[in-house]
Each structure stands twice: as C-alpha cells, then as structure tokens.
Amino acid sequence: MEGGEVNPHAGEPLPPLEIPVTRTLIVSGALASRDFQDVHHDAEAAREKGSPDIFMNILTTNGLVGRYVTGWAGPHAALRKVAVRLGVPAYPGDTLALSGRVTAVTYEAPEAPGGESATVEVAVRGAGRLGDHVTGTVTVTLRTAAGQEGASPGEERGAAPADRKDAS
C-alpha cells in the first residue's frame, strides 16, 4: 500500500493491508520499544505464564496501526493521535489483517494558495486467526490533493502528471 494525494471523505474505506506476524517482528518490535518483558521474546517463559507462545506488544501494534493509516494518507500526512484497544494476542504465524474506514474529515482553510489541508479520523481494525487483535481510531492531518503543488481539481488519486485526465 503506497499513499499518494488524497481527498478523503467520510465512509471511504482504506485498502486492506496484511502483515505476517513473525517471531522476528515480535522480538524486534519489543526490543525497539525497550519492552524487555520475557513474554515478548522467550517462548518458554511465555508458556510458564499461560500463553501458548510469545506475543506482540502494544507498542509494536501501535506502530503497525500508524503505518497502515499513514501509508494510505501519503508522505504529507502527520500522525496526530493513535487510540487503540487490544483484543486477542497476535502470535507467530498469524497474519494481521488491517482494515479501516474514514469516519470524519474536517477541512481547514488554506493559509496560503494551494495550502488546503484536512484532519482525518479513521476507524481501524486489525484481525488475526483468533479474532480482533486491535481496534481503534487514528487521527492524521494531511495536505489534500487540491493543496498539492501542481494538482488539478478532479485529479485522479496518485496519478502522475502524464496520467491526468486533463493532460494533453
């Protein structure tokens, strides 16, 4: 999934994204977020504590949810808020299937010509084989296609200049 220029509207679905949950992802995510709890890197310790295996930590989940939304919103998006609720654990061998839908868009008046921006709220769900691993809401601020340099009204999302409807 690669973001481009967007003109989001409430009700718009985001393209799905599937992320394989590997031992490497779980352990590296825990280490990168300085979460040294043994249940995120030691399978035997996780089993002793009642889990069938190591499992992904919340900070890795937050990062993946943020990546999902900013990947759709494009390089001009700024992540403003990630509010999630964890459900079932994500274990090695699972696939985290992320889906989302725009729930609210607030357009802001441009401060300069071509500077239109929007604050966008997206409801996100990440499900695995056991059910919902994460649900929540992400808020981003982005420049809309109308606010992108060289963009034309009605331009197709992500179209290169030669691919525009009005190109000659």
Query: 13-20 and 78-86: which strand pairing?
Result: unpaired
Range of the domain at 34: 13-163
* Residue 166 CB-half CA count within 13 A: 7
pLDDT of residue 154: 33
CATH number at residue 144: 3.10.129.10
pTM over 0.95: no
Averaged pLDDT, groups of 10, the chain, 168 residues long: 70 98 96 91 95 97 97 93 97 98 89 74 98 98 65 34 36
Distance CA 151, CA 124 (A): 29
The total domain count for the chain is 1
Report which of 165, 160, 157 is spatially closest to residue 15, judged by C-alpha positions.
157
